Structure 1
Amino acid sequence: MDKIDLIPLLDFINPAALSYTDWVNVGMALKEEGYTASDWDRWSARDSYRYHKGECFKKWTTFQGTTNPVTGATVVEMAKQGGWQPVYGGDDAEIGWDDTIGSSKDDKVIIDKNWLEGREVIEPENWDPVKDLVTYLETLFDSTENVGYVTSAWQKEGENKYLPTKGNWDRTAGELIEELNICDGDVGAVFGDYKPECGAWIRFNPLDGKGCKNDNVTDFRFALVESDSMEIDKQNEIIRTLELPLACLVHSGGKSLHAIVRIDAANYAEYRKRVDYLYNVCRKNGLEIDPQNRNPSRLSRMPGIMRNDKKQWLIDTNIGKSSFIDWQEWIEAVNDDLPDPESMGNVWNNLPELAPPLINNILRQGHKMLLAGPSKAGKSFALIELCIAIAEGAKWFDWTCAQGRILYVNLELDRASCLHRFKDVYENFNLQPEHLANIDIWNLRGKSVPMDKLAPKLIRRASKKNYIAIVIDPIYKVITGDENSADQMANFCNQFDKVCTELGCAVIYCHHHSKGSQGGKRSMDRASGSGVFARDPDALLDLIELDITDELIKQEENKAVCGACIAFLTKHKPDYTEDISQDDECSEKAMQDYCKHSFSQDMYIDLVNNYVYPARQKVKQRTAWRIEGTLREFPKFPPVNLWFDYPVHHVDDIGALADIEADSEPPAWKKNFKKKKSPADNKNDRRKSIESVFDICKSFGEIVTLKAMAEYSGVTEKTVRTHLTEHGGFTIESHGKVEKMEKVENVSSFS
């Protein structure tokens, strides 16, 4: 695989936003991949604050290599975090194991960085520091919440940079505002005197009054967005164009704006997730953010303060979207990668070809199929049978399959059991394994991950294999979210679409039934969880168990014993057909009697122990099943009845199971049976209904008319008039006005 050129990727990595360790790692990665110190030096010079001429060349000589070197993958990952997306050069382009699969268009990029001009930030002429601070505190805090702030700073030896101390956190916003209102413009009298050369800081989330760490934050309300490596005007344009949900926007008095963004997270975990999303969107749109500002207890610049003769001032409040959720939904919706609508008139005479069938009359190639059923239905065996049928170009149950390569993703069985099952199915079907190379198995028991994480890994591994189908067994191992939630399961099922689209192959998966009897339900209503499972696939095949009668079991035992006797006679007495008729061959008693008189006692015992008894046991262990289907691309097929003789299914070709009811399914004459109502009951229902309609129409206005009641009920005015007359408790005046009588006579006649 060709290496990615790392130099263009450096444009997506801001050296000013990196820690010292990350900066060094970039240099080590460049040297490891064969680049020069000059490449590292040119990129590092973008950080004008920390850059020192010649430092990169001195550091470069100390990179001697290790047994675990920093590689170009580190630079690739940093570039991805900065908004870089890999672009693939066609069908033959190599894809790395860690590459992102999908559209090259980024759905979170709103701003074209090539056309960024900047939006001027105008400094106030008549500045009121106290007003800035009071507005800031009122916007971010409740009056009873403790505020953290810092007005003292210190310097490291030999450095000019000032660092803030831990500061104070013992006063509430209400107390600070009260003191500010009477300080006569002396902010230092309230917060403490600060050094004009470094300014002062404030924490934007409320504290518990016991400290200033993340653990002391009482409400994860806001996050800080700051960038000091680009012009102030461009920062301002990006912040406003992105419509960040800002509570406050503060000029730092230096080279950055401090945007206090509404996060409103329920807890620290949600705060981190939302801030990661926020920072990712900002980076992709050209705002080079300092990643060290993620913490909820982070300090920001305090407005109303002077810093090196420049103002730290409040630019604006409450701009952009009103909440993080509104902003996130807007970001997701504002830019998509969806195709444009097309005119049917343009394609009427040149329709695209339909995908060829994968399973004849059931599923097309590149589509999705769900196999649903209860536990012990042999769903995994059925899918293994399908894999073998596709690999060998054979039939699966009643349906012919296209031949090709297939991947079986095993999430449940240990490796040995899975491999043995494939061999057992081959042998029980007496199939010659002529195309084993068409079957790949990915054993993931104990290593499976949620489907949204599995899908890209699956796509990467399958991208060059030319599979025509991928089987995922079972999906409960990789479900993300609540299986009863329609929206969460829709997102889950979208992962199958991604696999189908990216690989151009069918995805086949299995799921379990819900609890309880299933016979009275439609096939598409039996799968556990949300109805999305039934609606999403192009083909839904459902297995339901049949209640085998004692009479049928005896018939099957008779056939099995006769078959066992015939097998024994064929081996030891091939001329037996001269002695018995075809009718005798169908009689268990006749066959055993003939064998008993034809062989010695020892041979007869061998027949009973090694032929007859195993045949009987196999019948007793046999279960019966019916497959029904809901198809999107093909007509509905008649139910297919199966015997499950572990470990394989056999189609019931002779119709022995045709009349068997499914899982306590009620007989046809009992379905949809409703008790017939008496005429008096029907009349009483009409009375209640007309009263209800009148009361509802009355709630809409003071006057009720025949027309209003008819429109609400969806019937004609004549029908309403008939029901009102039958009721007897209403009067119909001129122009169709309806009024209810104060007292209804002979009410008992309606009961």
Structure 2
Amino acid sequence: MNGKLDLISLLDYIDPSSLDYQEWVNVGMALKQEGYTASDWDDWSKGDGQRYHPGECFKKWTTFEGSGISGATITQMAKENGWVSNRLNTDDHELGWDDEISGNDDYVVIDKNWIEGKEISEPSVWNPVREITRYLEALFQSTDNVGYVTETYQITDEKSGDTIYKPTSGAYDRTAGQLIEALNKCEGDIGSVLGDYKEEAGAWIRFNPLDGKGVKNDNVSDYRYALVESDNMDIEKQNAVMRELELPIAVMVHSGKRSIHSIVRIDAPNYEEYRKRVDYLYNVCKKNGLNIDNQNRNPSRLSRLPGIVRNGKKQFIVDINIGKADWEEWHEWIEDLNDDLPDPESLTDYWDHMPQLAPPLIEGVLRQGHKMLMAGPSKAGKSFALIELSIAIAEGDKWLGWQCTKGKVLYVNLELDRASALHRFKDVYNALGLKPKNINNIDIWNLRGKSVPMDKLAPKLIRRAQKKNYIAVIIDPIYKVLTGDENSADQMAHFTNQFDKIATELGSSVIYCHHHSKGTQGGKKSMDRASGSGVFARDPDALIDLVELDLTDALIKQQEAAAATKIYCDAIQQVNFDYFDEHIGLDDQQSIAQMSNHAKRVLSPEHQVQIESEINRVVKGIRIRSAWRVEGTLREYPKFNPVNMWFQYPVHKIDDIGVLKDIQPEGDGPAWKKNFDKKKKSPSDIKKEQNEALDSAYEACSIDETITLEAIADYLGVTERTVRNRIKNHGGFRIVNGEVEKKPDKK
């Protein structure tokens, strides 16, 4: 495993009980790929007490061949759960004493090569009791158990042959208050309180309080402090660097040799947070020239005790309470120094030579690198509209009447299974009548069943898309990756900030899809219809909203008649244009009955059957299609006139002739008028309308693989209980396991 990360230690950050089955298997595949054993996977899997089965890991292990899943999978999982790498660059090794820190300059506060050393002076009056008492008072409460060591044992250094003194576990059964009281009474004989020490070795103390039961990490009762020490730099420079870094140092101690021991305030609530904070602290120190021994990171670590003489050199307190007041203040200061925010600019510098605006992605609607939200109710065909947009960008074609810039697009599919998504793209291409000349411009990222919250998805997306030169990233739909309460402004602001990160990092537009709030939408402004916090309306640079139009029976019949007569006219003209020109007037062309009579005179019986079949197909399509109005709220462009369109599976088509111009959205108009209209209808009329509405809802919901009770209720805007009652009254449908299906015809 030389040169590689220790994946076993990373597994400490991954709880097997929090993973789904595929993620658990991926961990096993990654371990095998990196040369670990089935026992390693099995030992870690035991952490899931409910799902763990003895022997299961070993059985599956033999099937893991050529999976292609590497240790990077485990590394990423660990990062998502709080692990922070100590590696500062791509050399894949821990920094050694003589390593130069180069490359990434994040968190570099000072230049150690230019900083002047700060002199350290020994105490003018040597008072060991005072040194130790000040140390204890600075770090501990009177009731804290303190661990200290004065006894040692000897070993011989294998290389030099020198005798080395090693500390024993020491004492840990007295509190700081007890020690201070005893020291104040000892009349300078600190050995009578702490025990005599060897001057060749010195003495040590543990800087975090203990539980009085031992000296291991598990015995630390409060994770208050961490040790910062660097002995490969001039000691006066160490002093200067630590002060320049504004480290929140509670006590700074001269070790009596070639280093300073700074006890830094960490104030972590638990061990996991302690590890994270110490990793961060050490990272900042290393980038500023203080190469710290990684063993110092343990919370039960020993440090040099002041008030002790070692080989004629004093261990003494250099200073107390320097730098920032606490961890939070220091951490905020470091982050502020290293933020990537731009400096304020003077308008006078640019008044006469303004920067160039970003080019358009969707002409008159959205610029490249900006964000757009598409909102609409269920079954509005939002996904199909976004697939149409993907195709329009890839081919440099129009979308809903707006010209799109040609380029590469990434469609992030969070809802459909992979096969359905691919088929939809081909179906939409065919329905639009476009040749797939530039399908290489479309990438689809299928994440159904594998999606993660947006704050975790964003960096994964950025990493995969970094070198693809996408001009647009389309995320459909966002409810699959939504984090937090969608009605909370601050939580949704954090959520939508992820889209800014994607747009900024990739330089591409980000287009995402969201649903309407419950209830009718006709009386609302377009920016008020999206569900949840108003952040969804204010965040995007362009908000495209779909609202359904309330089609009347008369309009639908008019459309059916127009389509049928056109089919008759085209057929007769092709067979006998002279007859059409001589016998068929404008009035005839408006009547299905008249055109049917003409067809019988001109067309053969076989041809008539074909025409009637075509008419039935077209009429059925008209009956199940829906009408929509596209409205918008734009930041960069003037407001556009509403666009009316039909949605006839699988594409939207603009209403070029103005049939829908005067149709009002569903739910528009005063409530008293709608209630009054309802009262005028007879029970039979109401039942007929409800049955027809149920038929339409069933046809519309058939877009999906299964037609659920919930989907029909959502489409009709009623409760599932109401749908059950209507299905019962209709008689042509039945409910099986929450799915709605047509009853089979009786033979």
Residue aligning to 1:296? 299
Return the alpha-carbon distance in structure 2 between the equivalents of residues 128 and 592 of structure 1: 117
Residue aligning to 1:638? 641
Q: CA deviation at 1:141?
A: 2.7
Alignment map for 1:219-230 (pairs within 5 Å) = 219-230=222-233
2:511 partner SS: strand
Alignment check: 8 A CA contact 2:145 2:172 kept: yes
Q: CA deviation at 1:342?
A: 4.3
Return the alpha-carbon distance in structure 2 between the equivalents of residues 349 and 599 of structure 1: 73
Alignment check: 8 A CA contact 1:564 1:615 kept: no
1:109 paired with 2:108, answer yes
Aligned-partner residue type, residue 240 of structure 1? R
Which of the residues 306, 324, 327 maps onto 1:321?
324
Return the alpha-carbon distance in structure 1 between the equivalents of residues 136 and 518 of structure 2: 56
Residue aligning to 1:538? 541
Q: Tell me how large the CA RMSD over aligned residues is.
A: 4.0
Return the alpha-carbon distance in structure 1 between the equivalents of residues 598 and 152 of structure 2: 108
1:441 paired with 2:444, answer yes
Residue aligning to 1:138? 137
Residue aligning to 2:372? 369
Residue aligning to 1:623? 626
1:247 paired with 2:250, answer yes
Which of the residues 283, 286, 289 maps onto 2:289?
286
Residue aligning to 1:684? none
Alignment check: 8 A CA contact 1:500 1:506 kept: yes
Q: Which whole-Å deviations, capped at 9, do the CAs of 1:572-626 have from their partners, x for residues lacking one? A: 8988846655445445565567668887888777666x54554444344433333
Residue aligning to 2:684? none
Q: CA deviation at 1:662?
A: 4.0
Return the alpha-carbon distance in structure 1 between the equivalents of residues 71 and 620 of structure 2: 63
Return the alpha-carbon distance in structure 2 between the equivalents of residues 663 and 130 of structure 1: 85
Change (3 A) 1:493 1:112: farther
Q: CA deviation at 1:629?
A: 1.8
Alignment check: 8 A CA contact 1:225 1:293 kept: yes
Which of the residues 271, 276, 279 maps onto 1:268?
271
2:247 partner SS: coil
1:407 paired with 2:407, answer no
2:274 partner SS: helix
Q: Which whole-Å deviations, capped at 9, do the CAs of 1:13-65 have from their partners, x for residues lacking one? A: xxxxxxxxxxxxxxxxxxxxxxxxxxxxxxxxxxxxxxxxxxxxxxxxxxxxx
Q: CA deviation at 1:294?
A: 2.5
Residue aligning to 2:190? 187
Return the alpha-carbon distance in structure 1 between the equivalents of residues 275 and 90 of structure 2: 22
Change (3 A) 1:227 1:478: farther
Change (3 A) 1:75 1:465: closer
Residue aligning to 1:218? 221
Return the alpha-carbon distance in structure 2 between the equivalents of residues 436 and 491 of structure 1: 34
Aligned-partner residue type, residue 280 of structure 1? N
Residue aligning to 2:476? 473
Return the alpha-carbon distance in structure 2 between the equivalents of residues 206 and 416 of structure 1: 60
Alignment check: 8 A CA contact 1:486 1:532 kept: yes
1:541 partner SS: strand
1:75 paired with 2:91, answer yes
Q: CA deviation at 1:170?
A: 3.1
Please identify, of 563-572 and 143-152, the stretch whose mean Cα deviation from structure 2 is larger: 563-572
Change (3 A) 1:185 1:445: farther
Change (3 A) 1:649 1:145: farther
Alignment map for 1:541-580 (pairs within 5 Å) = 541-559=544-562, 577=580, 580=584
Alignment check: 8 A CA contact 1:128 1:304 kept: yes
Alignment map for 1:673-684 (pairs within 5 Å) = none
Aligned-partner residue type, residue 631 of structure 2? E
Q: CA deviation at 1:427?
A: 0.6
Q: CA deviation at 1:548?
A: 4.1
Aligned-partner residue type, residue 117 of structure 1? E
1:75 partner SS: coil
Q: Which whole-Å deviations, capped at 9, do the CAs of 1:61-95 have from their partners, x for residues lacking one? A: xxxxxxx9999986256579989564xxxxxxxxx
Change (3 A) 1:280 1:520: farther
Aligned-partner residue type, residue 642 of structure 1? M
Alignment check: 8 A CA contact 2:376 2:514 kept: yes
Aligned-partner residue type, residue 137 of structure 1? L
| TM-score normalised per structure 2 | 0.68
Alignment map for 1:577-616 (pairs within 5 Å) = 577=580, 580-587=584-591, 610-616=613-619
Change (3 A) 1:319 1:621: farther
Q: CA deviation at 1:396?
A: 0.5
Alignment map for 1:231-242 (pairs within 5 Å) = 231-242=234-245
Change (3 A) 1:258 1:483: farther
Return the alpha-carbon distance in structure 2 between the equivalents of residues 298 and 665 of structure 1: 72
Alignment check: 8 A CA contact 2:204 2:302 kept: yes
Residue aligning to 1:118? 117
Alignment check: 8 A CA contact 1:83 1:280 kept: no
Please identify, of 515-524 and 223-232, the stretch whose mean Cα deviation from structure 2 is larger: 515-524
Alignment check: 8 A CA contact 2:213 2:219 kept: yes
Return the alpha-carbon distance in structure 1 between the equivalents of residues 588 and 244 of structure 2: 90
Return the alpha-carbon distance in structure 1 between the equivalents of residues 219 and 191 of structure 2: 25
Return the alpha-carbon distance in structure 2 between the equivalents of residues 272 and 484 of structure 1: 35
Alignment check: 8 A CA contact 2:112 2:241 kept: no
Return the alpha-carbon distance in structure 2 between the equivalents of residues 210 and 574 of structure 1: 105
Aligned-partner residue type, residue 192 of structure 1? G
Q: CA deviation at 1:214?
A: 3.4
- Percent same amino acid at aligned positions? 64
Change (3 A) 1:124 1:650: same
Return the alpha-carbon distance in structure 2 between the equivalents of residues 144 and 566 of structure 1: 99
Change (3 A) 1:306 1:596: farther
Change (3 A) 1:447 1:282: farther
1:271 partner SS: helix
Return the alpha-carbon distance in structure 2 between the equivalents of residues 203 and 567 of structure 1: 95
Return the alpha-carbon distance in structure 2 between the equivalents of residues 273 and 119 of structure 1: 30
Change (3 A) 1:428 1:248: same
Q: Which whole-Å deviations, capped at 9, do the CAs of 1:99-158 have from their partners, x for residues lacking one? A: xxxxx6x45222123312221222212233333333333333333333333333444565
How many residues are treated as equivalent by the alignment? Answer: 585
2:633 partner SS: strand
Return the alpha-carbon distance in structure 2 between the equivalents of residues 373 and 306 of structure 1: 77
Aligned-partner residue type, residue 308 of structure 1? N
1:114 partner SS: coil
1:357 paired with 2:331, answer no
Q: Which whole-Å deviations, capped at 9, do the CAs of 1:478-513 have from their partners, x for residues lacking one? A: 556665565565555444444444544323233344
Alignment check: 8 A CA contact 2:572 2:580 kept: no
Q: CA deviation at 1:557?
A: 4.5
Alignment check: 8 A CA contact 1:119 1:234 kept: yes
Return the alpha-carbon distance in structure 1 between the equivalents of residues 256 and 108 of structure 2: 29
Residue aligning to 1:431? 434
Return the alpha-carbon distance in structure 2 between the equivalents of residues 192 and 613 of structure 1: 103
Aligned-partner residue type, residue 260 of structure 2? L
Residue aligning to 1:169? 172
Aligned-partner residue type, residue 379 of structure 1? K
2:512 partner SS: strand
Q: CA deviation at 1:649?
A: 1.7
Q: Which whole-Å deviations, capped at 9, do the CAs of 1:286-313 have from their partners, x for residues lacking one? A: 2212222223333333333333333332
1:148 partner SS: strand
* 5+ residue gaps, structure 2: 4-69, 73-86, 674-747
Alignment check: 8 A CA contact 1:83 1:284 kept: no
Return the alpha-carbon distance in structure 1 between the equivalents of residues 190 and 593 of structure 2: 109
Q: CA deviation at 1:429?
A: 0.9
Return the alpha-carbon distance in structure 1 between the equivalents of residues 571 and 220 of structure 2: 83
Residue aligning to 1:258? 261
